[in-house]
């Protein structure tokens, strides 16, 4: 049985740790320097049924990277590269699984660890942090893993323990398509809910009908350009279903903006804008500028690769 090392002790990372431990999987949390010297408490996981469960995990730090056999990275997209840079002793055989919102990070990770199996993950599980080491599992969903490089091809077996812990996990050889599908949903819901300070479900109010129509068309056109084959009506039906299923939730970008944290706008809306090229995406650009303005940062000059 291989120990899962989770990098990123945020809401989703802690929920993943809790669900894996409940199935008897060994789990360690790779902690930052600020946690060194502190007592490592048990995780208090609030399950979907509302029950509290104490979850025990093993703490570890960067200098123990040589002991890591499977690394699940569950950080914000902009934190991934910096977090991985300090793991100098990470074995070349250790698979690195990237689970984050947005796109545009994988190439940088490949440059850092060119020989490691690199795996992309997409998950629709919901999680919310309610306090220090107190997390709530807010929604159950699908989880998909797939290879980013050739070295990852032999690691499809990782989905078995994940499936037992999460309720669903599958391997896909076309993981980029699934990443694009999730990004398209996030590129509509996240910036709109953040800018208007609303829950996801409020996007279905009549006042948002026009902007939803235009924004979904912009995002869909870019996804087609990137090789997507989903019809616009199908995308809109999928979008509405996600909004309905997460109606009472606040999006991650809403929460980041509300709490003064950096958002993942560069890796979500920025990725769409970056790949639009000649396609007009005025609503995407307006939302991008507004999120950056509210974050107190000037909009970044876009490059060609997101």
Q: Which of 182, 225, 241, 297 is catalytic?
A: 182
How far apart CA 135 and CA 12 sit, in angstroms, is 8
Three-class SS of residue 32?
Answer: coil
3-state SS, 164-200, equals HHHCCCEECCCHHHHHHHHHHHHHHHHHHHHHHCCCH
Burial tier of 82 (Cβ tally within 10 Å: 0-12, 13-18, 19+): exposed
76 is catalytic: no
Residue 144: name the closest of 187, 102, 174, 189 by CA.
174
How far apart CA 169 and CA 193 sit, in angstroms, is 29
How far apart CA 11 and CA 265 sit, in angstroms, is 19
In sequence order, what are the residues at sequence separation of 6 or more whose Cβ sits closer than 8 angstroms to the Cβ of residue 9? 29, 31
Q: Is the dihedral of CA 144, 251, 101, 103 positive or negative?
A: positive
C-alpha pair distances (Å), 57 with each of 97, 135, 203, 210, 257:
19, 14, 39, 48, 30
How far apart CA 145 and CA 122 sit, in angstroms, is 7
Which residues are part of the catalytic machinery? 182
């Amino acid at each position: 049985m291989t120990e899962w090392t989770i990098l990123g002790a945020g809401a989703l990372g802690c929920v993943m740790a809790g669900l894996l431990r409940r199935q008897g999987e060994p789990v360690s949390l790779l902690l930052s320097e600020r946690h060194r010297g502190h007592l490592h408490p048990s995780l208090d996981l609030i399950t979907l049924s509302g029950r509290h469960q104490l979850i025990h995990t093993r703490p570890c730090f960067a200098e123990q990277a040589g002991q890591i056999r499977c690394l699940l990275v569950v950080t914000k997209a902009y934190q991934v590269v910096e977090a991985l840079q300090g793991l100098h002793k990470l074995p070349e055989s250790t698979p690195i699984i990237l689970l984050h919102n947005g796109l545009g990070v994988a190439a940088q990770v490949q440059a850092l660890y060119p020989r490691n199996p690199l795996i992309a993950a997409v998950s629709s599980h919901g999680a919310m942090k309610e306090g220090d080491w107190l997390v709530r599992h807010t929604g159950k969903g699908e989880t998909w893993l797939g290879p980013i490089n050739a070295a990852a091809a032999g690691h499809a077996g990782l989905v078995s323990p994940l499936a037992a812990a999460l309720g669903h996990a599958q391997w896909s050889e076309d993981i980029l398509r699934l990443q694009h599908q999730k990004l398209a949903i996030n590129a509509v819901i996240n910036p709109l809910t953040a800018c208007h300070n609303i829950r996801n479900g409020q996007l279905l109010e009549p006042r948002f009908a026009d902007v939803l129509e235009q924004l979904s068309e912009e995002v869909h056109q870019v996804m087609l350009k990137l090789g997507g084959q989903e019809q616009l009506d199908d995308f809109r039906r999928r979008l509405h279903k996600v909004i309905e299923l997460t109606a009472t939730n606040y999006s991650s970008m809403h929460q980041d903006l509300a709490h003064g944290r950096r958002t993942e706008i560069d890796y979500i809306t920025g990725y769409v804008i970056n790949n639009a090229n000649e396609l007009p995406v005025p609503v995407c650009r307006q939302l991008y500028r507004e999120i950056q303005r509210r974050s107190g940062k000037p909009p970044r000059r876009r490059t060609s690769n997101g």
